[in-house]
Amino acid sequence: MAIITVKPAPGRVLRDPGNFMRLLDPDGSPVEDNSYWRRRINDGDAIVVDDADAPAEGSGPLAPNPGGTGPKAPGVPDDVAASVKAGL
């Protein structure tokens, strides 16, 4: 089945039944193009996002940390992140 990227319409919050009912990312999430999402789109609850407007892979709140072994929370200074990693 085809994959489309959708986001909630302004003022709406949507749950993804295919992803353990987690909230849909407000910037857009890839979902299966099926009757459930077509109904949400037709009802005005969801908006189809063009691929050019979709968020880039790895650009979420915990984007990969190129200098470390895992993601670093946004807004955490490097010296704090380093001391946490060192167990201090």
- Tell me how far apart the alpha carbons of residues 49 and 4 are, in angstroms, rounded to a whole number: 8
* Identity at 34, one-letter amino acid code: N
pTM over 0.95: no
Residues with Cβ within 8 Å of residue 77, at least 6 apart in sequence? none
The pLDDT score that the predictor gives to residue 62 is 45
Mean pLDDT for the stretch of residues 6-10: 96
- Between 84 and 59, the higher pLDDT residue: 84
Q: Taking the domains of the chain in order of start, what are their residue ranges?
A: 3-48, 62-88
* pLDDT of the residue at 21: 87
At 18 the pLDDT is 85
pLDDT at 70: 55
Here the tokens at position 11 are 């003022």
